[in-house]
Chains A and B, each alone.
Chain A
């Protein structure tokens, strides 16, 4: 049994709740109170949700069974959606790779260029893809081109920033070694930075592709081509069974792309982790 030696000061048990903990708890409670009162002021209430439930169930019941009789149209529109996403993402990724080098703190030719390009990418990122789509529908007219341009800009804002961060996160030691040999900035970029950052860049590119697929579905709603426009028409004509068939097609495409993307990403991560484990 442990006993306290004579003359030793008694052990002080720390308080159960520190003042810091209590202040954080009060802050969290204040945030919850503000959110709940704000929801009430906007007419959001559990009672209203319960009243809407039968209407929602009626709407869902009206969707069954899904009507796949227009499958050639659904297939064609789905294919268009995929092409919009792939083309938009490809162009966006290509342009963002260049901009990422300029936006990277370690690779940019000057701090001024880095700040300017980062600000540009932030500005692009703050505009949602739907707004880009509306702008491009106005600029180039209805159809897939507006969708491709909207996806391009959306990808640019997202991938440009994260590509730049990945370049900054590349290990510094090999870069220093190449610089010590007198390698130029671009030689260091191609010789040491890109190969080391490649797994991260591939992961970001696959995320961008997933985002592009999800975005391309919704873009059709504002007339930027693809299956979204078919879904909008079906809902407006109260053809709920047809709209369910379209939603199922969208789900299949999005889930397939996400599955393939996850597999590829995991493969890249496993390869990199395996290499690090060996050495």
Chain B
């Protein structure tokens, strides 16, 4: 078996990372995905996915395009309904568009999806839209004082407090993604979801963003699910790796125990008759 010694391109940086021992997956789970299937039309997107994630754990979801990574994250966020099975967050069963689920989930998107014309501060305050103070959170000028202070604290957590009033359009890709993470933190999430948050970033920014996400997860009572394509980065930073292929979980192990071959096999061609 090919044991992974921190592979390129993050060999240099990753050697300085202190990856904590993975949390016991057998402990009380915060996120409980039980036998979830998603069928759209005649196509099976997810098939019998089961996943339990305890508090504080960072899980890297790997798989080829169309493997079902984004759908799984959207189901966890309550943005997509499941055809069968259940998604439970802290004991509460979510459903499509469920407000209670949405309020407990923070989501970071592939292309940050921030409002470019607005400042970083306003974008972070947008994280409270859909909650009680929703209306006043369209703009930082109208937001309540305690939320402005909270948004600044979130920006401080991601190292962007100094650029709070800069329009997002003036920020680099990595900085914008940090603001997007701060926006997700504004919701005090129990579950932090990130859908390929490093896809449009250079290697240094990728490592920064993923390291930020994992360190924030360890500091908070939340768990993290990241869909990611970079196997080196995932192995260097995540506690646990879940591999999807054709909508099924084919790999679920602590990152320290996963081999490169196992991950590469996730990207091997899926036979035509298999759903993907």
Number of chain A residues whose Cβ lies closer than 8 Å to a Cβ of chain B: 22
**B113 in the interface, Cβ–Cβ < 8 Å?**
yes
Task: Let me know if A195 and B118 touch, CB within 8 A.
Answer: yes
Task: Let me know if B103 and A182 touch, CB within 8 A.
Answer: yes
Closest to B128 in A: A181
Please pick, from A176, A190, A191, A279, the residue contacting B170 in the complex, using a CB distance under 8 A: A279
Asked whether A191 and B126 contact (CB < 8 A) given A173-B111, A180-B102, the answer is yes
Asked whether A279 and B173 contact (CB < 8 A) given A180-B77, A191-B126, the answer is yes
Interface contacts beyond A177-B107, A178-B126, A181-B130: sample of 15 additional A-B pairs, CB < 8 Å, sorted by A: A171-B116, A173-B113, A174-B114, A181-B131, A187-B134, A187-B138, A190-B138, A191-B129, A191-B137, A191-B139, A196-B115, A275-B167, A278-B170, A279-B168, A279-B173
By a beta-carbon cutoff of 8 Å, the part of chain B in contact with chain A is: 77, 79, 99, 102-103, 107, 109, 111, 113-118, 126-127, 129-131, 134-135, 137-139, 167-173, 176, 187
Asked whether A196 and B102 contact (CB < 8 A) given A275-B167, A275-B169, the answer is no
Closest to A276 in B: B169
With a cutoff of 8 Å between Cβ atoms, the chain A residues found around residue B116 in the complex are 171, 174, 196, 275-276, 279
With a cutoff of 8 Å between Cβ atoms, the chain A residues found around residue B114 in the complex are 174, 177
With a cutoff of 8 Å between Cβ atoms, the chain B residues found around residue A178 in the complex are 126, 129-130
Asked whether A183 and B113 contact (CB < 8 A) given A191-B129, A275-B170, the answer is no
With a cutoff of 8 Å between Cβ atoms, the chain B residues found around residue A182 in the complex are 99, 102-103, 129-131
A11 to B137, CA, bound (A): 67
Please pick, from A180, A187, A192, A279, the residue contacting B169 in the complex, using a CB distance under 8 A: A279
Shortest distance from the beta carbon of B111 to any chain A beta carbon, whole Å? 6
A196 to B129, CA, bound (A): 18
A126 to B195, CA, bound (A): 48
With a cutoff of 8 Å between Cβ atoms, the chain A residues found around residue B79 in the complex are 180
Task: Let me know if A181 and B138 touch, CB within 8 A.
Answer: no
With a cutoff of 8 Å between Cβ atoms, the chain A residues found around residue B172 in the complex are 279
Task: Let me know if B107 and A180 touch, CB within 8 A.
Answer: yes
**A3 in the interface, Cβ–Cβ < 8 Å?**
no
Task: Let me know if A174 and B167 touch, CB within 8 A.
Answer: no
List the 3 closest A-B pairs by CB distance, nearest first.
A182-B130, A275-B169, A177-B113
**A198 in the interface, Cβ–Cβ < 8 Å?**
yes
**A52 in the interface, Cβ–Cβ < 8 Å?**
no
A103 to B178, CA, bound (A): 36
With a cutoff of 8 Å between Cβ atoms, the chain A residues found around residue B129 in the complex are 178, 181-183, 187, 191
Shortest distance from the beta carbon of B182 to any chain A beta carbon, whole Å? 13
**A4 in the interface, Cβ–Cβ < 8 Å?**
no
* A-B CB contact pairs (8 Å), 12 listed: A173-B109, A173-B111, A176-B109, A178-B126, A178-B130, A180-B77, A182-B102, A183-B130, A184-B130, A190-B139, A192-B126, A275-B169
With a cutoff of 8 Å between Cβ atoms, the chain B residues found around residue A195 in the complex are 115, 117-118
A171 to B111, CA, bound (A): 12
Closest to B193 in A: A180
Asked whether A278 and B169 contact (CB < 8 A) given A182-B102, A196-B115, A196-B116, the answer is yes
With a cutoff of 8 Å between Cβ atoms, the chain A residues found around residue B99 in the complex are 182
Shortest distance from the beta carbon of A196 to any chain B beta carbon, whole Å? 6
